[in-house]
A and B are shown apart, each in its own frame.
Chain A
Amino acid sequence: MRGLQLSLNKGQKLRLERAIEQLESLSSKANSDASVIVADDISVNYEDAILKGHGTAEMDGRVVATLCGVVERVNKLVYVRPLRARYKPEIGDIIIGRVIEVAPKRWRLEINFSQDAVLMLSSMNLPDGIQRRRTAVDELNMRSIFEENDVICAEVRGFQHDGCLHLQARSQKYGKLKSGQLLTIPPYLVKRRKQHFHYLDQYGIDLILGCNGFIWVGEHVEVRDDMVEDLSDKSEQQNVKSWNTVGDEEVEETYTPPDTRQNICRTANAIRVLSTLGVMVAVEVITEIVDLSTSMNLDVHEMLGAEFYVIVAEKEAERRSLSTKRR
């Protein structure tokens, strides 16, 4: 529970400790004895032909850990899973990143990984939607699409030979994100699921859970499917698009109503509390916490206080004990 800087009074401390005890008792005990530190011996049956995986090394014929973590065994493979793992990208992951550089024919994004990711100009849809070869004029106009410090949602297309990530943003749901908040949480709290784009319609906000630990909470944007639009009112679309590309000053600033802004902040605070507690961040849990805070009539800033923190811990312990009882 790094980053816990709240001052809890005595009663709150007791309740928090009880909730954490309950959570620990519910978690599976299978691996609790398998935590190792650097240069600890890993108990291995030396007659078996085992494969030494990530985080292990051989020293004097013994298998020794090179990381602090938990030993995992899968058939013949023995490896050490680090405690606070870095983001491990896989092809097809939805990630959110921030542009740090506009380079020839590509953008460099920062994505909470050991290296920066690269989004090629050819992996990005052009503003007028036509599929054509990128010319030199397109290259010069890259800044009109994305600039430095823009927040972008994209998908992992693959790896380069030196380990650099390649991204693509070819669909309408990817691209620049506006009117919202970007949150950073530890990447291992986001599980890979079927859906990473969520629309919370009772609050009117979009929630994108990036696999790299960046989470976007923002105003809802209608995702227009290009295929459907092309068949019908094509002329209207062209008019709208040409109006948008004329200049930033001419684009009408859509006003976000204060209710939506409150909901965005509430959801963001709920995610912050969950991440400090170390709870897996998923849509159901987030909506539960937001509902809980509205039902208790808490102000948005009170959600980051000590009392709500303890309540969320207790609620999580309750929820987990219920789910284990159901099983």
Chain B
Amino acid sequence: MAGKSSAAAATYSPSLTGQRKKRPPIQTDSEWVRPDGRGLHQCRPAFLKTGAVNSASGSAYAEFGNTKVIVSVFGPRESKKAMMYSNAGRLNCNVSYTTFASPVRGQTPEAKDLSSMLHKALEGAIILKSFPKTTVDVFALVLESGGGDLPVITSCASLALADAGIMLYDMVASVSVSCIGKNLLIDPVSEEESYQDGSLMITCMPSRNEVTQMTVTGEWSTTKINEGMQLCLDACSKLGKIMRSCLKEAASGPQD
């Protein structure tokens, strides 16, 4: 028995007890200071690049602070699942986390939930009638999860879809807002997400002024929701502009 336990100790596994930090109680009236020194209504600087994956029809890489996501799009192509004839195309989304994405190995948010949420966010923007009987596969891989994962995944996925040449009604931009006490923080980091009282995420198509997905969790008063939505929509239109300039660069760059 003793031999066995020593063999078990030879393989190190981080103790989970140390992770449960006691949350210092924050007074509801205090101002929240952001760990990376941003203003409350300031988003993280974004780095976007298309053409990251050669073998895919289209791909994009996005870095928002510490959140790094790479999305590859395959299609339209035949899939074994879609045996029935359908007038409209199908969209298949898959989000997965690398094992080194979060600070503690293996402790990541539910990727299956994110896959279905990504599907709902994108299916409103893709013109499915343009590729009947075939499937478009979107694979998102989160390389590092630094907070605010799903908005980054959605924005990166819409860049990859545009790069693949799939018909879209408009680009899809997504921003989330966190509520801590009386503060509204835009684009939260993972530390802020762990302290939050509520979160609001909006995915919209900026040029069309249409929202494809809105996710609200936690406690929100009416005025706070209005304020939060306004913040999100403003930030989405700015992010939309950044995405378009990234696509323009990619389009005008390699021209032989």
Q: Which residues of A contact B (CB under 8 A)?
A: 1-3, 20, 23-24, 27, 32, 35, 37-40, 55, 57, 59, 64, 66-69, 82-86, 114-116, 162-163, 277-279
B39 at the interface (CB under 8 A from A): no
**A114 pairs with B134, CB closer than 8 A:** yes
Bound complex: CA A276 to CA B169 (Å): 31
- Whose C-beta in chain A lies nearest to the C-beta of B243? A37
**B254 pairs with A278, CB closer than 8 A:** yes
Chain A residues positioned under 8 Å from B248 (CB to CB): 35, 37
Binary contact readout B46-66 vs A (1 if CB under 8 angstroms, 0 otherwise): 000001001000000000000
Q: Which residues of B contact A (CB under 8 A)?
A: 51, 54, 75-78, 85, 127, 131-134, 162-163, 165, 167-171, 205, 207-208, 244, 247-248, 251-252, 254-256
- Whose C-beta in chain B lies nearest to the C-beta of A19? B256
**B134 pairs with A115, CB closer than 8 A:** yes
Chain A residues positioned under 8 Å from B127 (CB to CB): 57, 66
- Whose C-beta in chain A lies nearest to the C-beta of B55? A3
3 closest A-B pairs by beta carbon, nearest first, are: A114-B76, A39-B170, A39-B207
Bound complex: CA A32 to CA B252 (Å): 9
**A59 pairs with B208, CB closer than 8 A:** yes
Bound complex: CA A168 to CA B170 (Å): 40
Bound complex: CA A27 to CA B256 (Å): 8
13 more CB-based (< 8 A) A-B contacts, given A114-B77, A279-B256: A20-B256, A24-B256, A37-B162, A38-B247, A39-B169, A55-B167, A57-B127, A57-B169, A68-B162, A68-B165, A83-B251, A115-B134, A162-B133
Bound complex: CA A251 to CA B24 (Å): 81
**B54 pairs with A38, CB closer than 8 A:** no
Chain B residues positioned under 8 Å from A66 (CB to CB): 127, 167-169
**B254 pairs with A24, CB closer than 8 A:** no
**B133 pairs with A35, CB closer than 8 A:** no
Chain A residues positioned under 8 Å from B51 (CB to CB): 2
- Whose C-beta in chain B lies nearest to the C-beta of A41? B207
Chain B residues positioned under 8 Å from A32 (CB to CB): 255
- Distance in angstroms from B64 CB to nearest chain A CB is 21
**B168 pairs with A278, CB closer than 8 A:** no
- Distance in angstroms from B241 CB to nearest chain A CB is 11
Bound complex: CA A35 to CA B205 (Å): 21
**A85 pairs with B165, CB closer than 8 A:** yes
Which residue, of A2, A38, A163, has the highest number of chain B Cβ atoms within 10 A? A38
Chain A residues positioned under 8 Å from B170 (CB to CB): 38-39
- Distance in angstroms from A55 CB to nearest chain B CB is 7
Bound complex: CA A278 to CA B51 (Å): 15
**B54 pairs with A2, CB closer than 8 A:** yes
**A38 pairs with B165, CB closer than 8 A:** no
Chain A residues positioned under 8 Å from B252 (CB to CB): 35
Q: Known: A66-B127, A83-B165, A86-B165. Contact between A35 and B256, CB under 8 A?
A: no
- Distance in angstroms from B240 CB to nearest chain A CB is 9
- Distance in angstroms from B70 CB to nearest chain A CB is 15
Which residue, of A1, A68, A84, A278, has the highest number of chain B Cβ atoms within 10 A? A68
Bound complex: CA A114 to CA B207 (Å): 29
Chain B residues positioned under 8 Å from A55 (CB to CB): 167
**B256 pairs with A67, CB closer than 8 A:** no
**B256 pairs with A38, CB closer than 8 A:** no
- Whose C-beta in chain B lies nearest to the C-beta of A108? B78
Contact of B78 among A20, A39, A114 (CB under 8 A): A114
Bound complex: CA A63 to CA B134 (Å): 27
Chain B residues positioned under 8 Å from A40 (CB to CB): 244
Bound complex: CA A230 to CA B248 (Å): 61
Bound complex: CA A323 to CA B31 (Å): 69
- Distance in angstroms from A160 CB to nearest chain B CB is 10
Can you offer 29 A-B residue contacts whose CB atoms are under 8 A? A1-B254, A2-B254, A23-B256, A35-B248, A35-B252, A37-B162, A37-B171, A38-B171, A39-B207, A57-B127, A64-B207, A66-B168, A67-B165, A67-B168, A68-B247, A68-B251, A69-B165, A82-B165, A84-B165, A86-B165, A114-B131, A115-B77, A115-B133, A116-B78, A162-B132, A162-B133, A163-B133, A278-B256, A279-B256
